[in-house]
Amino acid sequence: MDVLILVLLVACGLWVLRSTEQRRRIALLGRSLGQYQIETLMETLTQGYLRALGESDPERRQQILNMLNSAEQSVALQFGSFATECARLDEAQTRVSKLSVALPFADRLFPQATFDVRKAFSIHARGLAQAASNELGRSARDKAFTMSAELLLMQHTCHWFCRSLTTASARTLMRHQTPYAQLVDSVAPATRRDYEALLRG
């Protein structure tokens, strides 16, 4: 019985520590994101893309996609500013554990199994800017797919920073019916290359 009580106390202690750390990360991200309309723009684009792809008339589909150009440019510019702002944060605040589950102080206990979210945000900012300006010269439909993937992978990184890899991937699958691996495969080649290199490093 004493062992069981000890185990319960340790489990409760770990839960409190993990919750406190997650609240700190959420507050840190929230303070920076609160200055922007990134979430609102992302919702506008996601709904717009779904509406466009549901159109059977190619001309009408193109019109809807064209109307989303300004929102694409805005979200790319705003996320670029956000990434620049985050780059000024102390690295001690921005290390993210690559472990599947959230453990308190994992970024300090296992520093080799971490990455710097500031670098990930920089990668996402470049990917969004390139997708919005259509540097690859893709069709409007393919551009929409790429932009969607860039946005969802960026959102996945935000959730990963605040919670854990497992939670972020589960949220992406539940909300967008898209597995994490498919997201990584769907972004632009330069984003995928830099993102995977960051996680390997």
| DSSP per position, 11-26 | HHHHHHHHHHHHHHHH
pLDDT tens-digit readout, 145-200 = 999 999 999 999 999 999 999 999 999 999 999 999 999 999 999 999 999 999 99
Residue 137, pLDDT above cutoff 60 = yes
| Partner residues linked to 115 by β-bridges | 96
Q: Looking at residue 71, what is its pLDDT?
A: 96
Question: Per residue in 73-91, is it b (16+ CB within 10 Å) or e — as a string?
Answer: ebbbbbbbebbebbeeeee
Tell me the C-alpha distance between 128 and 120, whole Å: 12
Residue type for 57, please?
D
Long-range Cβ contact pairs of 133-138 (< 8 A, separation 24 or more): 133/73, 133/76, 136/188
pLDDT tens-digit readout, 46-77 = 999 999 988 888 899 999 999 999 999 999 99
pLDDT tens-digit readout, 24-49 = 877 788 888 889 999 999 999 999 99
